[in-house]
Amino acid sequence: MRVAVISDIHGNAHALDAVLADVARERPDALWCLGDLVGYGPRPNRCTSLVASHADICLAGNHDLGVLGTIDIDEFSHDAAASAHWTRDVLEPEARDFLAGLSPERVTARAGLYHASPRSPVWEYVVSAEAAEAALADTTAPVVLVGHSHIALAILQSGEAISGGLAPADTEIELGRGRWLLNPGSVGQPRDGDPRAAWLLLDFRAGRAVFRRVEYDIASTQAEIRERGLPAGLATRLTLGA
């Protein structure tokens, strides 16, 4: 089974279009989304519609839940809260209904899927070896998939040893070596220094995974952010991948 894994799209339709085109060329058996379809970006309805039509599994992220009112937007940063309020106002009923039916976690026979972490599926950022070790200890899944941080990661647990870290473009790993915690990175707002849209190809049959990055029209997304009156910093950071 070959699976494309995406996460943290954040209303960036240009990035999502580019990733879905790259995914289509690989012809995987399934597509899994780890959540945060909306928030920050200017095209929440299109992104939700695309994921709804392409994903075999989709999780809810904290921004999705904030827009729905399930969690308190006041816990967000200023820019995140401003974009969540805007998204709440423009979200169409079909998109709202789709998001409302999602959970922040899902466990399959092959992997555990969490928007943030097994310990805290909505909020915890797994960005250190210590957090990854704790996350792996909270589940028996051989592969643990997380999003939320917008940072592509590959962390291996072999016996009691923890190794790995950032997973730049074209990083390839062997799944059978131990237990892995993997973050595909962000489609719509990468924060690992590479502004290209990120996704992960899991090949369970071959026992490997490859981290992918895709160029997209950043300037068009930035123009849409400004046109909608969203915080200017949300446009600026796309250029930086930070």
Q: What is the mean pLDDT of residues 189-197?
A: 97
Q: How high does pLDDT run on average in the chain?
A: 96
The total number of structural domains in the chain stands at: 1
Kindly give, in sequence order, each residue whose CB lies less than 8 Å from that of residue 90, ignoring residues fewer than 6 positions away: 44, 45
Cβ neighbours of 178 (radius 10 Å)? 15
From 95, 135, 129, select the one nearest 115 (Cα to Cα).
135
Which domain covers residue 39, as residue numbers? 2-240
- The CATH number for 124's domain is 3.60.21.10
* Residue 158 pLDDT > 90: no
Judge residue 167's burial from the number of C-beta atoms within 10 Å of its C-beta, 0-12 exposed, 13-18 middle, 19 or more buried: buried
pLDDT digits (tens, 9 = 90+) for 100-134: 999 999 999 999 999 999 999 999 999 988 899 99
Query: Tokens 């879905």 label which residue?
Result: 20
No. of helices (H) and no. of strands (E), the chain: 8, 12
Residues 6+ apart with CB under 8 A from 204: 1, 2, 3, 110, 175
